[in-house]
Amino acid sequence: MVFSSLIFLYAFFPLSLLGCVLCKTKPARNAVLLVSSLVFYAWGEPVYVLLLAFMALSSWFCALRVGAAGTKASRRGWLAAAVTVDIALIGFFKYSGLVCSVFGPVPAFIRNVSLPIGISFYTFQLMTYVVDVYRGDAAPRRRYTDVLLYAALFHQCIAGPIVRYGSIEADLFSDAPVSNEWGLGVSRFCVGLAKKALLANACGALADALIVPDPAGAEAVSAALEALSRQSALGIWTGVAAYALQIYLDFSAYSDMAIGMGKMLGLHYPENFNYPYIAGSVREFWRRWHMTLGSFFRDYVYIPLGGSRRSVPRWIFNTFVVWALTGLWHGASWNFVLWGLWFFVFLLIERAFLGRVLEKLPVARNVYLLLAVLLGWVLFRYSDLRLVWAAVRGMFGANQASSFAAATLLKNNVFLLAAAVIGSTPLLKSVGARLDGRGGRLWRAVRFGVVPAALLLLSTAALVGDSYNPFIYFQF
């Protein structure tokens, strides 16, 4: 089940929301949320819900032992046990094929292991919970179901944001009354739904028409290479741009919907995006893109390694580790590792000299950022590096193919791309903020009533007959 499916929009979520609203206490609401979350996860992963439950059980038990331990060595031991279980399980389900491929053919039983949906997200959340208990930033929960609820919350369990326990503990378990933000929640949810249904899906279809999707199998790779060799530079650049817009709109749409659903129930999930494509450097881009993942690696990997407080060689090593892991987190394929290291190289160059130069070039720095990110998305899209090279060569005119078909497709989709670009900038948000300051009751009725209703209606129309359209980051 996905947020952009009709069964979720008109059956599952309304029933879950109604059940929570009818509850008079937080424990009762949490019980409804837990049952809803387990049903939601089991809908697509009936077996792997047991994996989620076991990993939550392991983290719950180890956190209790960390809290009860009398010595630092014992606390470290239980922390290491929790992290080892989490890494071992995500390593088996997500990375065993990659590891085996280094030493030879991947065994059949490894190839047949499917990736549990959302494992990268809830694994990180459970690790932060135990680490925060170890650091003294959080108290261990006495009830196992509390930890399971935190890990399984269906609003964000599948594709983020990555929610730290400390940021949501009070919303879930304190005695303070629930503070529902209905207007903001409904509006944010409908905006996210429209970004997915009206823009991201259409950009994805355009990208697939111009640059083939990542193929599986030797014959499919050969066909993809042939297709890319026949595409013009205009077609590949347009396809890569459409893919870049799809990724941002798709992923940020999921975060918008998660944040909106949380607001309806008094749960405050962290922001995950801040218009990254308007950044003027790679460093700024990653402060705006998938912010909860960036803060995880900063606080739980980069700073513990020493951050930038060490010597330059050690800082380079720390940064290398973070970006190799960032790439690897996105997928068990070498192209993802190279994608992470692609940004690592730019960060080194920016720190050495380019960052100071870019500060003096307000327009050129954004062009530079977009070129770096667009070329990076080619690495992100194709697991076979031959396809990456074919696409990059084509982008710079190596194919010498006719651009007539690509130009026609571009003209037919110019309004879609314009809308997607506007949706990727803070323009509409700025206009809305000005109207919030000047508008009265009529504007509030339009913003929190008419606009969400219109977006919901248009999104529903777009989803009829195409209700299975999973979010890109489900695969991570």
Read off the pLDDT of residues 453-469 as tens digits, 9 standing for 90 and up: 999 999 999 888 765 56
CA distance 72 to 86: 21
Among residues 128, 161, 176, which one ends one of the domains?
176
Q: Are residues 103 and 205 in the same domain?
A: no
CA distance 434 to 428: 10
| Window from 106-110, 231-235, 423-427 with minimum mean pLDDT | 106-110
Q: Are residues 162 and 283 in the same domain?
A: no
Per-residue pLDDT, 468 = 56
Q: Are residues 103 and 169 in the same domain?
A: yes
Per-residue pLDDT, 454 = 94
Per-residue pLDDT, 71 = 87
For 231-247, what is the mean pLDDT? 95
In total, the chain counts a number of residues equal to: 476
Q: Are residues 342 and 460 in the same domain?
A: yes
Q: Are residues 215 and 338 in the same domain?
A: yes
Among residues 176, 199, 219, which one ends one of the domains?
176
For 58-66, what is the mean pLDDT? 95
Q: Are residues 37 and 151 in the same domain?
A: yes
Backbone φ, ψ for residue 323 (5° rounding): -80, -30
Among residues 135, 151, 176, which one ends one of the domains?
176
> Residues 6 or more apart from 144 whose CB is under 8 A from it?
56, 57, 60
Query: Does the residue 354 lie in any domain?
Result: yes
Per-residue pLDDT, 469 = 64
Q: Are residues 155 and 54 in the same domain?
A: yes
Domain that holds residue 45: 6-176
Query: Does the residue 242 lie in any domain?
Result: yes
CA-wise closest residue to 381 among 188, 263, 242: 242
pTM equals 0.92
Q: Are residues 208 and 163 in the same domain?
A: no
Number of domains in the chain: 2
Indicate the DSSP class of residue 474. Answer: G
Q: Are residues 164 and 286 in the same domain?
A: no
The whole-chain average pLDDT of the chain stands at 90
Q: Are residues 135 and 221 in the same domain?
A: no
Model confidence pLDDT, tens digit, residues 179-225: 788 889 999 999 999 999 999 999 999 999 999 998 888 889 999 99
Both tokens of 405, joined, read 């078909």
Query: Does the residue 282 lie in any domain?
Result: yes
Indicate the DSSP class of residue 476. Answer: -
Neighbours of 244 (CB within 10 A): 23
Query: Does the residue 475 lie in any domain?
Result: no
Model confidence pLDDT, tens digit, residues 360-375: 888 899 999 999 999 9
CA distance 365 to 355: 9
Model confidence pLDDT, tens digit, residues 188-199: 999 999 999 999
CA distance 177 to 380: 44
Q: Are residues 393 and 363 in the same domain?
A: yes
Query: Does the residue 476 lie in any domain?
Result: no
Which amino acids are annotated catalytic?
A: 330
Indicate the DSSP class of residue 47. Answer: T
Query: Does the residue 1 lie in any domain?
Result: no
